[in-house]
Amino acid sequence: MAENDLRERLLTAWTDINARMKNSQMTQGFTYNEAVTMKLIYDQYRRDGVGLVPVAEIRKRLNMLKSLAHRTIQSLCEQGYLQKETSPEDARALLVRPVPERLPDFLAVHERSLQMAQAVIDAIGQDEAERFVRCCDVFLSAGLPF
């Protein structure tokens, strides 16, 4: 019985936090999918100064359907945030990179997300926030098939 209760509580926590994140207005100016796509590409840009990311990796990391990923990327390209390229190794592989001139506009929205993250840290404390990040890292490295 306790195991079943833990499963129910975990599922409730998961759905509640997911809904709260999507409905938080933290991605003002972007759809949720645009914001998380830009975050993934921006993280790569911070690591290497280029930010070139295969669309297949975006789909995999964000668990997006192919059609949704392409619509999201097309929208970001039309807004001038991303540019598409083909891979030099495989002409069928589509890559995207941020447009440096538009990064300040993304970063203004991203700053709101960071402020909300800080509000969570302030509410639950540094230790619990660190524990949450570690739990997420363990969960993501578990290789679950969903």
The partner residues of 53 in beta bridges, in order of sequence, read 96
Q: Is residue 146 part of a domain?
A: no
Q: Distance from CA of residue 11 to its chain's centroid?
A: 21
Q: Is residue 1 part of a domain?
A: no
Q: Give the mean pLDDT of the chain.
A: 91
Q: Is residue 69 part of a domain?
A: yes
| Residue 32 confidence (pLDDT) | 86
Q: Is residue 4 part of a domain?
A: no
Q: pLDDT tens digits for 72-95?
A: 999 999 999 999 999 888 888 899
| Residue 58 confidence (pLDDT) | 97
Q: Is residue 9 part of a domain?
A: no
pTM attached to this predicted model: 0.83
Rounded Cα gap, residues 82 and 73, in angstroms:
7
| Residue 26 confidence (pLDDT) | 66
Confidence bin at 123 (pLDDT 50/70/90): very high
Q: What is the CATH number of the domain that holds 100?
A: 1.10.10.10
